[in-house]
Amino acid sequence: MITAATHDGRGIAAVEGKKVFVAGALAGETVRFQRRKRRRNFDEAELLEVIEPSAERVAPRCAVFGTCGGCSLQHQSQETQRNIKFEALQNALQRIGGVTPGQWFAPLYDDGENGGWNYRRRARLAVKDVAGKGRVLVGFRERHAPYVADMQRCEILARPVDAMLTALSEIIGTLSIRARLPQIEVAVGDVQTRLVLRVLDPPTAEDRAHLAEFAKSQNVSIALQTGGLDSIEDLYPAKPDALSYRLPEFGIALQFDATDFVQVNAEINRRMVARAIELLAPGANDRVLDLFCGIGNFSLPLARNAAEVLGIEGEARQVQRAAANAARNGIKNAHFVTADLSEISGKEAWLAKPWQRVLLDPARSGALDVVKQMKRINPERIVYVSCHAATLARDAAELIQLGYALSGAGIIDMFPHTAHVESIAVFEKK
- What CATH number is attached to the domain comprising 45? 2.40.50.140
Q: Can you tell me the distance from the alpha carbon of 267 to that of 190, in angstroms, rounded to the nearest whole number?
A: 11
Residue 158 confidence (pLDDT) above 90: yes
Query: Binning pLDDT at 50, 70 and 90, where does residue 417 land?
Result: very high
> By residue range, what is the domain housing residue 139?
122-188+193-241
Cα–Cα dist 124/160, whole Å: 15
Q: Does residue 295 sit in the same domain as residue 413?
A: yes
Preceding amide of 237 cis, omega within 30: yes
CA distance 45 to 11: 10
pLDDT at 43: 92
Give the rounded percent of residues in the chain with a pLDDT score beyond 70: 100
Which residues lie closer than 8 Å to 160 by C-beta, 6 or more apart? 188, 193, 218, 219, 220
| pLDDT above 90: residue 17 | no
pLDDT of residue 346: 86
- Is 232 in the same domain as 297? no
Evaluate whether 408 touches 105 at the Cβ level (below 8 Å). Answer: yes
Q: For residues 172 and 217, give the distance between their C-alpha atoms in angstroms, rounded to a whole number.
A: 15
Give the mean model confidence (pLDDT) for residues 134-142.
97
Examine residue 49 and state whether it is found in any structural domain, yes or no: yes
Closest CA to 418 of 161, 231, 28, 140: 140
**Range of weakest confidence among 170-184, 336-350, 357-371, 394-408:** 336-350
Q: How many domains does the chain have?
A: 3
Q: Is residue 305 part of a domain?
A: yes
Residues with Cβ within 8 Å of residue 305, at least 6 apart in sequence = 277, 282, 283, 284
Tell me what pLDDT residue 303 has.
98
Residues 319 and 201 both lie in one domain: no
Catalytic (active-site) positions: 387
CA distance linking residue 242 with residue 392, whole number of Å: 34
Is the residue at 257 inside a domain? Answer: no
Question: Mean pLDDT over residues 4-11, rounded?
Answer: 87
pLDDT in tens, 325-384: 999 999 999 999 999 999 998 889 999 899 999 999 999 999 999 999 999 999 999 999
Domain match, 210 and 324 both = no
Model confidence pLDDT, tens digit, residues 19-78? 999 999 999 999 999 998 888 889 999 899 999 999 989 999 999 998 999 999 999 999
288 inside domain: yes
Q: Determine, yes or no, domain membership for 397.
A: yes
Q: Are 219 and 297 members of one domain?
A: no
Residue 130 lies in a domain: yes
Q: Which pLDDT band, with edges at 50, 70 and 90, does 145 fall under? A: confident
* Chain-centre distance for alpha carbon 312: 20
At 318 the pLDDT is 97
Within this chain, do residues 301 and 424 fall inside the same structural domain, yes or no? yes
Q: How far apart are the first and last CA of the chain?
A: 49
CATH number for the domain including 324?
3.40.50.150
- Whether 299 and 403 map to the same domain: the answer is yes
Bridge partners (DSSP) listed for residue 20: 13, 43
The pLDDT of 86-112, averaged and rounded, is 97
Scanning 261-410, the segments in alpha helix (DSSP H) are 266-280, 299-303, 316-328, 368-371, 374-377, 389-401
> In this predicted structure, what is the pLDDT of residue 114?
87
Could you tell me where the beta strands, DSSP code E, fall in 219-264? 221-225, 233-236, 243-247, 252-256
Structure confidence at residue 59 (pLDDT): 94
Check residues 321 and 66 and name the one with the higher pLDDT: 321
Quick one: which of 64, 71, 76 has its CA closest to 29?
76
Q: Is 112 exposed, middle or buried (0-12, 13-18, 19+ CB in 10 A)?
A: exposed
Average of pLDDT values for 307-321? Answer: 97
Q: Flag whether pLDDT at 5 surpasses 90.
A: no
- Give the whole-angstrom CA distance, residue 406 versus residue 396: 7
The residue-averaged pLDDT of 81-101 equals 96
